[in-house]
Amino acid sequence: MRELLDELDRWKKTGKRIALARVVDIQGSGPRGAGAAMAVNEDGEVIGSVSGGCVESAVVTEALAILAGEQPSRVVTFGYSDDEAFAVGLTCGGIIHLFIQPLEWA
Per DSSP, the three-state class of 7 is: helix
Say yes or no to pLDDT of 82 above 50.
Answer: no
pLDDT of residue 78: 85
Say yes or no to pLDDT of 34 above 70.
Answer: yes
pLDDT of residue 91: 56
Q: How many domains does the chain have?
A: 1
Cα dihedral value 61, 66, 71, 76, nearest 10: 60
Say yes or no to pLDDT of 7 above 50.
Answer: yes
- Domain extent, residue 36, equals 2-102
**Percent of the chain surpassing pLDDT 70:** 86
